[in-house]
Protein backbone atom coordinates (compact mmCIF):
# COMPACT_ATOMS: atom_id res chain seq x y z
CA UNK A 1 0.00 0.00 0.00
CA UNK A 2 1.21 3.55 -0.61
CA UNK A 3 -0.17 6.95 0.29
CA UNK A 4 -0.20 10.13 -1.76
CA UNK A 5 -1.77 13.57 -1.52
CA UNK A 6 -4.52 14.55 -3.94
CA UNK A 7 -6.38 17.83 -3.62
CA UNK A 8 -5.21 18.16 -0.04
CA UNK A 9 -6.36 14.74 1.16
CA UNK A 10 -4.43 11.56 1.73
CA UNK A 11 -5.29 8.80 -0.70
CA UNK A 12 -4.49 5.21 0.13
CA UNK A 13 -3.80 3.03 -2.83
CA UNK A 14 -3.02 -0.63 -3.07
CA UNK A 15 -0.14 -1.64 -5.22
CA UNK A 16 -0.85 -4.59 -7.46
CA UNK A 17 2.44 -6.15 -6.42
CA UNK A 18 0.96 -6.81 -2.97
CA UNK A 19 -1.37 -9.45 -4.29
CA UNK A 20 -0.46 -13.09 -3.63
CA UNK A 21 -0.58 -15.64 -6.44
CA UNK A 22 -1.74 -19.18 -5.73
CA UNK A 23 -1.22 -21.37 -8.82
CA UNK A 24 -3.78 -24.16 -9.10
CA UNK A 25 -2.10 -27.44 -9.94
CA UNK A 26 -5.29 -28.49 -11.71
CA UNK A 27 -3.53 -27.25 -14.84
CA UNK A 28 -0.16 -28.82 -13.98
CA UNK A 29 1.31 -32.05 -15.35
CA UNK A 30 -0.17 -34.62 -12.95
CA UNK A 31 2.53 -37.08 -13.91
CA UNK A 32 5.24 -34.74 -12.74
CA UNK A 33 3.79 -32.93 -9.70
CA UNK A 34 6.93 -32.88 -7.54
CA UNK A 35 8.87 -31.05 -10.25
CA UNK A 36 5.93 -28.78 -11.05
CA UNK A 37 5.83 -27.66 -7.42
CA UNK A 38 9.56 -27.03 -7.38
CA UNK A 39 9.26 -24.97 -10.56
CA UNK A 40 6.35 -22.94 -9.13
CA UNK A 41 8.33 -22.23 -5.96
CA UNK A 42 11.30 -21.02 -7.99
CA UNK A 43 8.97 -18.93 -10.17
CA UNK A 44 7.71 -16.90 -7.19
CA UNK A 45 4.37 -18.52 -6.35
CA UNK A 46 3.10 -17.49 -2.89
CA UNK A 47 1.05 -20.59 -2.10
CA UNK A 48 -0.07 -23.77 -3.85
CA UNK A 49 -3.79 -24.14 -4.59
CA UNK A 50 -5.03 -27.74 -4.54
CA UNK A 51 -8.42 -28.37 -6.17
CA UNK A 52 -10.09 -31.41 -4.61
CA UNK A 53 -13.11 -32.54 -6.66
CA UNK A 54 -15.25 -35.58 -5.80
CA UNK A 55 -17.37 -36.01 -8.98
CA UNK A 56 -20.48 -35.23 -6.87
CA UNK A 57 -20.32 -31.64 -5.66
CA UNK A 58 -18.81 -30.90 -9.08
CA UNK A 59 -18.73 -33.14 -12.17
CA UNK A 60 -15.00 -33.51 -12.23
CA UNK A 61 -12.78 -35.85 -10.19
CA UNK A 62 -9.24 -34.88 -9.28
CA UNK A 63 -7.14 -36.26 -6.42
CA UNK A 64 -7.31 -36.79 -2.68
CA UNK A 65 -5.27 -36.59 0.50
CA UNK A 66 -2.73 -39.33 -0.41
CA UNK A 67 -1.60 -37.33 -3.45
CA UNK A 68 -1.41 -34.13 -1.38
CA UNK A 69 0.73 -35.98 1.16
CA UNK A 70 3.02 -37.32 -1.54
CA UNK A 71 3.85 -33.82 -2.82
CA UNK A 72 4.02 -32.05 0.56
CA UNK A 73 7.81 -32.27 0.74
CA UNK A 74 8.36 -30.75 -2.72
CA UNK A 75 7.95 -27.17 -1.42
CA UNK A 76 7.77 -25.14 1.76
CA UNK A 77 4.98 -22.95 0.33
CA UNK A 78 1.61 -23.09 2.13
CA UNK A 79 -0.87 -25.66 0.82
CA UNK A 80 -4.24 -24.05 0.11
CA UNK A 81 -6.74 -26.92 -0.11
CA UNK A 82 -10.02 -26.10 -1.89
CA UNK A 83 -12.55 -28.83 -1.12
CA UNK A 84 -15.19 -29.11 -3.84
CA UNK A 85 -16.80 -32.15 -2.23
CA UNK A 86 -20.17 -33.14 -0.77
CA UNK A 87 -18.72 -34.61 2.42
CA UNK A 88 -16.17 -32.09 3.72
CA UNK A 89 -16.78 -33.05 7.36
CA UNK A 90 -15.38 -36.55 6.80
CA UNK A 91 -12.31 -35.38 4.88
CA UNK A 92 -10.83 -32.69 7.13
CA UNK A 93 -8.78 -35.12 9.19
CA UNK A 94 -7.06 -36.69 6.17
CA UNK A 95 -6.17 -33.36 4.59
CA UNK A 96 -4.78 -31.99 7.84
CA UNK A 97 -2.59 -35.10 8.14
CA UNK A 98 -1.56 -34.68 4.50
CA UNK A 99 -0.14 -31.23 5.30
CA UNK A 100 -2.84 -28.67 4.48
CA UNK A 101 -2.19 -25.16 5.81
CA UNK A 102 -5.55 -23.79 4.67
CA UNK A 103 -8.71 -25.83 4.21
CA UNK A 104 -11.53 -24.09 2.37
CA UNK A 105 -14.99 -25.63 2.27
CA UNK A 106 -17.95 -24.65 0.13
CA UNK A 107 -20.84 -22.99 1.98
CA UNK A 108 -23.18 -24.85 -0.41
CA UNK A 109 -21.81 -28.25 0.64
CA UNK A 110 -22.91 -28.13 4.28
CA UNK A 111 -25.90 -27.18 6.38
CA UNK A 112 -23.56 -26.82 9.38
CA UNK A 113 -20.97 -24.31 8.25
CA UNK A 114 -20.22 -23.06 11.76
CA UNK A 115 -19.55 -26.59 13.02
CA UNK A 116 -17.39 -27.40 10.02
CA UNK A 117 -15.23 -24.31 10.51
CA UNK A 118 -14.95 -25.06 14.22
CA UNK A 119 -13.68 -28.52 13.33
CA UNK A 120 -11.02 -27.15 10.97
CA UNK A 121 -9.87 -24.54 13.51
CA UNK A 122 -9.47 -27.21 16.20
CA UNK A 123 -6.57 -28.62 14.21
CA UNK A 124 -4.79 -25.28 14.47
CA UNK A 125 -4.80 -24.64 10.72
CA UNK A 126 -6.48 -21.88 8.72
CA UNK A 127 -10.14 -22.15 7.74
CA UNK A 128 -11.79 -20.77 4.63
CA UNK A 129 -15.24 -20.63 3.06
CA UNK A 130 -15.80 -20.69 -0.70
CA UNK A 131 -18.88 -19.14 -2.31
CA UNK A 132 -20.21 -20.23 -5.69
CA UNK A 133 -21.10 -17.42 -8.12
CA UNK A 134 -24.83 -17.53 -7.21
CA UNK A 135 -24.29 -17.69 -3.43
CA UNK A 136 -25.02 -14.56 -1.44
CA UNK A 137 -22.15 -13.14 0.61
CA UNK A 138 -24.45 -12.87 3.66
CA UNK A 139 -23.88 -16.62 4.13
CA UNK A 140 -20.60 -15.82 5.92
CA UNK A 141 -21.89 -12.93 8.02
CA UNK A 142 -22.20 -14.92 11.27
CA UNK A 143 -19.00 -16.97 10.97
CA UNK A 144 -16.50 -14.18 10.37
CA UNK A 145 -14.79 -14.83 13.72
CA UNK A 146 -13.98 -18.37 12.59
CA UNK A 147 -12.63 -17.43 9.18
CA UNK A 148 -9.09 -16.88 7.95
CA UNK A 149 -10.02 -16.78 4.28
CA UNK A 150 -12.99 -16.19 2.00
CA UNK A 151 -12.81 -17.65 -1.49
CA UNK A 152 -14.97 -15.97 -4.11
CA UNK A 153 -15.56 -18.35 -7.00
CA UNK A 154 -15.49 -16.28 -10.16
CA UNK A 155 -16.49 -19.29 -12.29
CA UNK A 156 -18.75 -22.23 -11.50
CA UNK A 157 -16.37 -24.73 -9.93
CA UNK A 158 -15.38 -27.95 -11.65
CA UNK A 159 -13.02 -27.09 -14.45
CA UNK A 160 -10.11 -24.87 -15.32
CA UNK A 161 -10.05 -22.60 -18.33
CA UNK A 162 -13.47 -20.95 -17.87
CA UNK A 163 -14.35 -17.29 -18.39
CA UNK A 164 -14.42 -14.92 -15.40
CA UNK A 165 -17.97 -13.99 -14.31
CA UNK A 166 -18.05 -10.15 -14.08
CA UNK A 167 -20.59 -9.99 -11.20
CA UNK A 168 -17.86 -11.51 -8.99
CA UNK A 169 -16.33 -8.03 -8.76
CA UNK A 170 -19.39 -6.67 -6.99
CA UNK A 171 -19.26 -9.58 -4.55
CA UNK A 172 -15.56 -9.01 -3.86
CA UNK A 173 -16.25 -5.35 -3.09
CA UNK A 174 -19.08 -6.24 -0.71
CA UNK A 175 -17.08 -8.92 1.11
CA UNK A 176 -14.09 -6.60 1.41
CA UNK A 177 -16.32 -4.16 3.30
CA UNK A 178 -17.83 -6.93 5.42
CA UNK A 179 -14.43 -8.23 6.59
CA UNK A 180 -12.69 -4.91 7.09
CA UNK A 181 -12.36 -5.31 10.86
CA UNK A 182 -11.27 -8.94 10.65
CA UNK A 183 -8.02 -10.62 9.81
CA UNK A 184 -9.42 -12.46 6.79
CA UNK A 185 -7.80 -12.93 3.39
CA UNK A 186 -9.95 -12.48 0.31
CA UNK A 187 -9.16 -14.96 -2.45
CA UNK A 188 -10.59 -15.14 -5.97
CA UNK A 189 -10.62 -18.30 -8.08
CA UNK A 190 -11.48 -18.83 -11.74
CA UNK A 191 -10.78 -17.10 -15.03
CA UNK A 192 -7.91 -15.04 -13.67
CA UNK A 193 -5.74 -13.44 -16.36
CA UNK A 194 -3.73 -10.18 -16.34
CA UNK A 195 -6.88 -8.09 -16.95
CA UNK A 196 -9.24 -9.79 -14.49
CA UNK A 197 -6.38 -9.92 -11.95
CA UNK A 198 -6.16 -6.15 -12.04
CA UNK A 199 -9.93 -5.80 -11.65
CA UNK A 200 -10.00 -8.20 -8.68
CA UNK A 201 -7.16 -6.40 -6.93
CA UNK A 202 -8.89 -3.06 -7.46
CA UNK A 203 -12.04 -4.56 -5.89
CA UNK A 204 -10.07 -5.78 -2.87
CA UNK A 205 -8.65 -9.27 -3.55
CA UNK A 206 -5.60 -10.39 -1.55
CA UNK A 207 -4.96 -13.74 -3.27
CA UNK A 208 -5.56 -14.78 -6.86
CA UNK A 209 -5.82 -18.43 -7.84
CA UNK A 210 -4.67 -19.10 -11.37
CA UNK A 211 -4.39 -22.31 -13.34
CA UNK A 212 -4.53 -21.61 -17.06
CA UNK A 213 -2.74 -18.25 -16.81
CA UNK A 214 0.23 -19.75 -14.94
CA UNK A 215 0.59 -22.99 -16.89
CA UNK A 216 -0.18 -21.64 -20.38
CA UNK A 217 3.57 -21.75 -21.20
CA UNK A 218 6.53 -23.18 -19.32
CA UNK A 219 7.65 -19.64 -18.38
CA UNK A 220 5.94 -19.80 -14.97
CA UNK A 221 7.84 -16.85 -13.52
CA UNK A 222 6.83 -14.56 -16.38
CA UNK A 223 3.24 -15.80 -16.18
CA UNK A 224 3.05 -15.19 -12.42
CA UNK A 225 4.60 -11.74 -12.73
CA UNK A 226 2.03 -10.82 -15.38
CA UNK A 227 -0.72 -11.32 -12.77
CA UNK A 228 0.90 -9.16 -10.07
The option from ligand DX5, Zn ion, none interacting with 126 (CB < 5 to 8 A, set by class) reads none
In this complex, which beta carbon is closest to Zn ion, that of residue 14 or of residue 216?
Answer: 216
191 is a contact residue toward ligand DX5 (CB under 6 A): yes
Q: Which residues between 1 and 20 bind ligand DX5 (CB under 6 A)?
A: none
In the DSSP assignment, the letter for residue 24 is B
d(CA 72, CA 79): 8
First to last CA, the chain: 14
Q: Is 51 in the site for ligand DX5 (CB under 6 A)?
A: yes
Can residue 103 be called a binding residue for ligand DX5 (CB under 6 A)? no
Q: Determine how β-strand 126-131 pairs with β-strand 149-153.
A: parallel
- Would you give the binding string for ligand DX5 spanning residues 157-176, x where CB under 6 A is met? xx-xxx--------------
Of 85 and 203, the one with the shorter C-beta distance to ligand DX5 is 85
Question: Which of 80, 187, 189, 206 is close enough to bind Zn ion by CB under 5 A?
Answer: 189
Residue 110, contacted partner among Zn ion, ligand DX5, none, CB below 5-8 A by kind: none
Q: Is 47 in the site for ligand DX5 (CB under 6 A)?
A: no
Which whole-number Å values give the CA distances from 121 to 8, 47, 187, in the listed order? Answer: 45, 19, 19
Three-state secondary-structure class, residue 178: helix
CA distances for 70 relative to 34, 75, 96, 133, angstroms:
8, 11, 13, 32
Kindly list the catalytic residues. Answer: 51, 189
Which residue in 30, 47, 76, 38 sits closest to 148, CA to CA? Answer: 47
Nearest to ligand DX5 of 7, 205 (CB atom)? 205
**Please, which residue, 115 or 166, has the CB nearer to ligand DX5?**
166
Choose which of 82, 106, 126, 171 interacts with Zn ion (CB under 5 A). 82
Please answer whether residues 123 and 94 qualify as being in contact, where contact means their C-beta atoms are separated by less than 8 angstroms: no
Amino acid sequence: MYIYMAKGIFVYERQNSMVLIAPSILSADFGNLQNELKALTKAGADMIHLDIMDAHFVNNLTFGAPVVKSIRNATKLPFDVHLMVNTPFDMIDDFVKAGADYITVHAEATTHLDALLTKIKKYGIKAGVALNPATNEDTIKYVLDKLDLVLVMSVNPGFGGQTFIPSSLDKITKIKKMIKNHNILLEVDGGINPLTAQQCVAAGADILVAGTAVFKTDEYQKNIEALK
